[in-house]
Structure 1
């Protein structure tokens, strides 16, 4: 019994701190209380979960680029790592592995990529052109938005002037017609600017709303012109109804002498007989 015990102890081998292992590979351990238990898997799993990087060679043009990357990474992550050395935009890259273009969401290990694998990188011209078109479209949209915001601000200022004129004219105050005409011209210039803006979607809807606003204000000014002209004609009628007092005409000395005689002749119906030829000067 003692020999067996000693053999068992010798086989386990008591380590420092009360722990023991069997052979070279540690699968069991002895707790300080003397109980023999299976070794915890944390250390074993940790060593097993360590994933080493793989090295892949990517050819771009005539140059090979070596990249260290995790095997379970995606081709999209590989493209990100190639932006620096190649200078290609991420969206303009096209990777071909085993004569097949690989999607950015595909995994390297699932696609069969291993340590030392080779692949080719191309500049996707179609994707670049499409991206440039989208960028130009976005830039035009932003420019149209900025222009509409500026025009809307000007229309708001002109709208206040229209409102002030409306209050004055409907209040019976006559306004100089030139003021109305100038305001109509300013609104027409804003309308021309809006017609020159090419937009789509929400920007097009905003442009249409501002066009309707300008047209409405022009119609209001046309009505104000008519009413303003009526106010002017009423004042002229008032002047005709109450004419100004006229100054008496000047009468010569001869007319003052003849006037009483003519008045007496008219009353008595006597004819006037010339008894002497008056000297004419």
Structure 2
């Protein structure tokens, strides 16, 4: 399905884009489709591919080494005519791999847009993109980031001017397509209380204060923090979350708080990892 990933109709000069090979013309020019720009087609001279043909080789045979999709750079664009100059020779292997990875990730969002299109009739595809994707600051990255938090995504869908039934259906589609597996995050630490007879009480008070803080902030996608005695004075702070990045940041916050509470009461706490 040919659909445009971005609000702009044409790529910018020097932009790296993914193209799909369509045909090889008689004058050694390859007809390609710009995969992220809908039905936009262009021509890529074989000389601009960086490939060479030996005496017994064909252009088609050499192009087969690239696969059906590969990355090129837009060197010039005439927006009045839609004519593009493309070049592959200047694209490094690292740039190619990063662009293809980004394209594959963005396709998840494109697939989502296509799947909700029927739910939002009579809206056209560009109207759906405009309402759900293009209005974001960094459309694809921001949308994918929101799918990692059921709470944030639910609030985002609820903000749209659509029916409650449509909101429910779209949330179900998101939960299916962008399902996040629970992530177990933990910190092992060693906590001692300067060999005081109140050592156990110090640990209990620090743990109680940390758990109370966490209970006030626990998110919809998380299971409460637990502080477990492995074998005194070794402890484990652990939690389960669907958002690994946010979960690690939160775990660091709670470990720092736990450590500060112990230090405040004359104890010491050291992370084991």
Q: TM-score range by the shorter chain?
A: under 0.3
Between the two structures, name the one with larger relative contact order (CA 8 Å, sep ≥ 6): 2
Instruction: Point out the structure with the larger helix share.
Output: 1
Q: Which has the larger radius of gyration?
A: 1
TM-score of the superposed pair, with normalisation by structure 2 = 0.18
TM-score of the superposed pair, with normalisation by structure 1 = 0.18
Instruction: Point out the structure with the larger strand share.
Output: 2
